[in-house]
């Protein structure tokens, strides 16, 4: 009995590992999908004129004591790069935000409205693929949890295992395509987007890394599930061969 219980325990451990990886992938994908830190960087904008008693390096000061008067001639000391200030921004699938000059908080705009019209269809495809990615991951998690906690026989568990493996592989492929499409759309928006949005410097943010980590966990879960399915099939074949061999021996040497 002891050797027969070991494969069952091993299958349970593999199923738990696949479920854990798939659950992590689902959490990471939902977090990345709803965040706006796929890309981060700075924008170089001209400093505004100082108003009232405002001071500091984030606005242009006048050299006239009556600089706010309409009759006064305004002379600006700042020249070259001194006339510009860098504002931090971050963008995601849904919206893009940038910090305000001389004010608290951020100003956010829909990233879809910033995307060039020629690439807006690709962005919508990316959004649909991301949604399907999340839905398939959720389906795979449900199937894996049913396999762990509910199935009544090894055959039923094997059927659920095969279906969850297919669903998880499809989810991983959709996630990869969605992330690559968004990357292409963002790069096109950087080059062809509105003048008042184009970044001076930018790089990928933590949400982008989290999205690809979700993809890696998804594929690891798929590989673990397929490995479990293959190993279970091989165990059944091995047991059947042993059973057939014992029947042949009994047929050749009947017990009188």
Q: pLDDT for 152-203, tens place per residue?
A: 566 767 778 888 889 999 999 999 999 999 999 999 999 888 888 888 889 9
pTM comes to 0.75
Specify if 173 maps to a domain. Answer: yes
CA separation for the pair 199, 193 (Å, rounded): 10
Nearest to 175 by CA among 209, 233, 215: 215
Residue 229: domain span: 9-35+116-194+202-234
* CATH code of the domain in which 17 resides: 1.20.140.150
In tens, the pLDDT along 117-139 reads: 998 999 999 999 999 999 999 99
Length of the chain, in residues? 256
Say if 41 falls within a structural domain: no
Phi, psi of 143 (to 5 degrees): -65, -40
138, part of any domain: yes
| Per-residue pLDDT reduced to its tens digit, 89-115 | 899 999 999 887 766 778 899 999 999
Is residue 177 in a domain?
yes
Decide if 1 is inside a domain: no
Number of domains in the chain: 1
| Residue 99, domain member (yes or no) | no
Please, what is the average pLDDT of the chain? 79
Residue 100, pLDDT score: 78
DSSP state of 117: G
Evaluate whether residue 224 is within a structural domain. Answer: yes
What are the backbone angles phi and psi of residue 217, rounded to the nearest 5°? -65, -40
DSSP, collapsed to helix, strand or coil, labels residue 65 as coil
Nearest-angstrom CA–CA distance, 60 and 122: 41
248 or 198: which carries more pLDDT confidence?
198
Both tokens of residue 191?
Answer: 């080059």
Calculate the CA dihedral of residues 37, 17, 232, 145 and round it to 10 degrees: -80
| pLDDT of 248 higher than 90 | no
The residue among 9 and 42 whose pLDDT is bigger is 42
Q: Is the pLDDT of residue 74 over 70?
A: no
- Whether 58 is in a domain gets the answer no
Give pLDDT tens digits for 47-63: 666 665 555 555 655 55
């Amino acid at each position: 009995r002891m050797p027969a219980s070991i494969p069952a325990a091993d299958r349970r451990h593999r199923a738990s590992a696949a479920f854990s990886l798939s659950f992590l992938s689902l959490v990471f994908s939902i977090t990345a999908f709803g965040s706006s830190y796929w890309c981060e960087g700075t924008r170089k904008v001209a400093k505004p004129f100082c108003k009232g008693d405002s001071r500091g390096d984030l606005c242009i000061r006048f050299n006239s004591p009556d600089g706010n008067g309409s009759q006064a001639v305004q002379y600006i000391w700042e020249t070259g790069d001194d006339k510009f200030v860098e504002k931090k921004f971050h963008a995601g699938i849904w919206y893009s935000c940038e910090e305000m000059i001389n004010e608290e908080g951020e100003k956010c705009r829909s990233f879809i409205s910033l995307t060039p019209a020629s690439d807006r269809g690709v962005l919508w495809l990316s959004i649909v693929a991301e949604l399907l990615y999340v839905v398939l991951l959720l389906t795979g998690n449900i199937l894996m949890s049913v396999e762990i906690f509910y199935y009544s026989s090894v055959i039923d568990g094997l059927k659920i295992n095969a279906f969850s493996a297919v669903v998880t592989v499809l989810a991983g492929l959709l996630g990869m395509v969605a992330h690559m499409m968004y990357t292409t759309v963002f790069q096109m928006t950087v080059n062809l987007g509105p003048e008042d949005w184009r970044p001076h410097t930018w790089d990928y943010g933590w949400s982008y890394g989290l999205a690809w980590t979700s993809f890696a966990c998804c594929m690891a879960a798929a590989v673990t599930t397929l490995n479990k399915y293959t190993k279970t099939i091989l165990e059944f074949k091995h047991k059947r061969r042993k059973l057939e061999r014992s029947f042949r021996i009994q047929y050749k040497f009947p017990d009188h």
